[in-house]
A and B are shown apart, each in its own frame.
Chain A
Amino acid sequence: MGQSNRALYEQVILEHNRKPRNFHAMEDADRRIEGHNPLCGDHFTLYLKLDGDVIADISFEGRGCAIAKSSASLMTTLLKGKTVREAEDLFVQFHRMVTAKPDAPIDEKAVGKLAVFSGVREFPIRIKCATLSWHALLSALRGTHSSVTTE
């Protein structure tokens, strides 16, 4: 395992990949959205239940690489009970981190547990994997589309 791969595949990521959280369909979801990466065939469905502007429940199902799957899993654990605004702000911080230069400092306070994805900075091609579920989430919150793609 190369050094940069070790940085990419943090234990937390591998663990969420093995046992994804909130990994199920939701019968009574208010919103449901598909996220595709047509280049690799990855495909997730995200389910949301909103209480006003609070994310009351969130789950996902589908298949994809370890980065995409663990990112979706961790996202669901972080957003339950958060407001739409808080979710959007967290995504902005997350996106800023994964698209930064590899040696840029990480604002751990802003990204929290999502800091485990900082290894993605060394592999620009994997940014799409890490952000697929987040893009789906934002689209679902805005209620604009029924599906999003990375392309």
Chain B
Amino acid sequence: MRAVREMSSGIPSNATSIFDVAALRRDFPILQTTVHGKPLVYLDNAATSQKPQAVLDALARYYAETNANVHRGLYQLSEASTRAYDAARHKVRDFIRARLKCEIIFTRGTTEGINLVAQTYGRQHVKAGDEILITHMEHHSNIVPWQVLCEEKGARLRVAPITDTGELDVQAFQRMLTGRTKLVAVTYVSNALGSVNPVKELIGMAHARGVPVLVDGAQAVPHLAIDVLELGCDFFVFSGHKVFGPTGIGVLYGRAELLEEMPPYQTGGDMILSVRFDKTIFNSLPHKFEAGTPDIAGAIGLGAAIDYLNHVGMDRIAAHEAELLQYGTEVLHSIDGVRILGNAAHKASVLSFVMDAAHPHDIGQMLDGEGIAIRAGHHCAQPLMERFDVPATARASLAFYNTCEELDALGKALERVHEVFG
């Protein structure tokens, strides 16, 4: 079991009790690289985050030392692999403070988690004339699965409006909860604006009417400490790759009472107890929702990312990011013709902006020339772009390893964009 122990000890080597960004940055090999001969300034963390060495090592070590299928072989390697996979589930449970390990379902990512709930719980409970309530700031992945379900069932998708500052209109949301509402699906943090929704309050409102709530946590997990029991949500979904883990792995948390009653999403191996041609008996939680060989390495990598984050400390991450957000906001305000979209009172470290002189794609292209990576586009949130009457925005999304110096570099490059295009 040597390998498993080593895998679970993926802690940052350089972090000390003070928040030493320079030391933490050394844990991320990609942050030491250059682009067009300039140091990489990576400001596209809402799209995907970079990976610390501890995660890369966990992946390599798994394949080099422990690779075997899980829940099968009666040999040491398979046992080690199964234990490491289970240990990862344990880490996820503790990380989001769920009650039971069996409430943690590994998925491919947030999108799959939402589709799973739509196609199982949704198909089971939503009927003609019912309503599903979402908000105007959802990512396409928290719109389309519900839209498809509503079309199939003859139900209605309702959209709670947002204000000009990019905050959810909570009163309107409450009014839109009716006797017909069968499910609420709401993002915790807007990927395009950074707005943090008062999800606990929203869940309380929904529960007062007996309506279960799915929280899209994809953009929240990298920034905020999560406590699903305190929030009281019924489902919580997120992606590993946005939280410094590998791509291809994600998590669906569901309350056991709900998961137990739901039909399987996909069927096949691993999710069964016994198969006969006349009758198959499904496996218990969480295996019922994990058909086929899972992304074992991905889960272990996510576990290593969680170890790393625990060591750095989510509270310290939040404090550093709050400083970055304030500094970055000032930098953008200091540049002529820049307008920030999303000025919610409670915001994660996301700076979405447009410039009078230059289209977001031209901004992105110009910044790339300086080694600065931002996202330019509709951020998979086209209804939100329409709401603000822009085809696209430029978005700098920050992680704990970003620095004020990098935001200075962003500001300087944007001044140059203003000169060239203005």
Binding site for B on A (CB under 8 A): 1-2, 4-5, 8-9, 14, 17-18, 39-43, 63-67, 69, 123, 126, 129
Judge whether A41 and B378 touch: CB under 8 Å: yes
Contacts A40-B377, A43-B391, A65-B361: A5 and B382 contacting too (C-beta < 8 A)? no
Closest to B419 in A: A1
Contact at B416–A1, with CB atoms within 8 Å? yes
Q: Mark B328-364, 1 if CB is under 8 A from A, else 0.
A: 0000000000000000000000000000001111100
Q: List residues of chain B with CB within 8 A of the CB of A2.
A: 36, 368-370
C-alpha gap A109/B115 in the complex (Å): 55
A39 CA to B140 CA, complexed, in Å: 13
Q: A41-B377, A41-B382, A43-B391 are in contact. Are A66 and B362 (CB under 8 A)?
A: yes
B residues in contact (CB < 8 Å) with A? 36, 358-362, 365-366, 368-370, 376-378, 382, 385, 391-392, 416, 420-421
Chain B: CB-nearest residue to A11: B420
The 8 closest A-B pairs by CB, nearest first: A2-B369, A41-B391, A65-B359, A65-B361, A5-B369, A66-B362, A41-B392, A41-B378
Q: Which of A9, A39, A123 has the most CB of B within 10 A?
A: A9
Q: CA separation between A4 and B358, bound complex, in Å?
A: 18
In the assembled complex, 11 residue pairs joining A and B whose CB atoms fall closer than 8 Å, in A order, are: A9-B420, A14-B421, A18-B421, A40-B378, A40-B392, A42-B359, A64-B391, A66-B358, A66-B421, A69-B359, A126-B365
Known: A17-B421, A41-B385. A65 touches B378 (CB 8 A): no
Taking CB atoms, residues of chain B closer than 8 Å to A129 are 361
> How far apart are B28's CB and chain A's nearest CB, in angstroms?
24
Across the two chains, which residue of chain A brings its CB closest to B365?
A5
Q: Which residues of A lie under 8 Å from residue B376 when comparing CB positions?
A: 40
Min CB gap A150→B, angstroms: 13
Least CB distance from A70 to B in Å reads 10
- Knowing A40-B377, A41-B378, A41-B392 are in contact, say whether A66-B359 is a contact too (CB < 8 A): yes
Minimum Cβ distance to chain B for residue A18 (Å)? 8
Q: Say whether B366 contacts A1, CB under 8 Å.
A: yes
Of chain B, the residue at the smallest CB distance from A17 is: B421
Q: How far is the CA of A5 from the CA of B421 in the complex (A)?
A: 12
| Complex: chain B residue closest to A42, CB-CB | B391
Q: Which residues of A contact B366 (CB under 8 A)?
A: 1, 5, 9
Cα(A63)–Cα(B362), bound, Å: 13
Q: Whole-angstrom distance from the CB of A115 to the nearest CB of chain B?
A: 20
Q: Chain B residues near A1 (CB, 8 Å)?
A: 366, 369, 416, 420
Min CB–CB distance B363 → chain A (angstroms): 9
Task: Report the separation of the CA atoms of residues A123 and B378 in the bound assembly, to the nearest whole angstrom.
Answer: 20
In the complex, are the beta carbons of A4 and B369 less than 8 A apart?
yes
User: A123–B391 contact, CB under 8 A?
Assistant: no
Docked CA distance A34–B361 (Å):
20
- Select from chain A the residue with minimum beta-carbon distance to B371: A2
Q: How far is the CB of B294 from chain A (nearest CB, A)?
A: 32
Q: Which residues of A contact B369 (CB under 8 A)?
A: 1-2, 4-5
Residues of chain A with a CB closer than 8 A to B368's CB: 2, 5
Residues from chain A with a CB closer than 8 A to the CB of B382 are 41
Nearest B residue to A6 by beta-carbon distance? B369
Whole-angstrom distance between the alpha carbons of A19 and B248 in the complex? 46
Chain B residues lying within 8 Å of A39, measured Cβ to Cβ, are 377
Contact partner of A63 (CB less than 8 A), chosen from B36, B377, B391, is B391
- Distance in angstroms from B68 CB to nearest chain A CB is 41
A123 to B36, CA, bound (A): 14
| Measured CA separation A25–B178 after assembly (Å) | 45
* Contact A40 B391, beta carbon cutoff 8 Å: yes
Complex Cα–Cα for A118 and B361 (A):
18
Q: Are A64 and B416 in contact (CB under 8 A)?
A: no
Q: Other than the known A5-B366, A64-B391, A65-B361, what 8 A-B pairs have Cβ atoms closer than 8 Å?
A: A1-B416, A40-B391, A40-B392, A41-B382, A41-B391, A42-B391, A63-B391, A67-B362
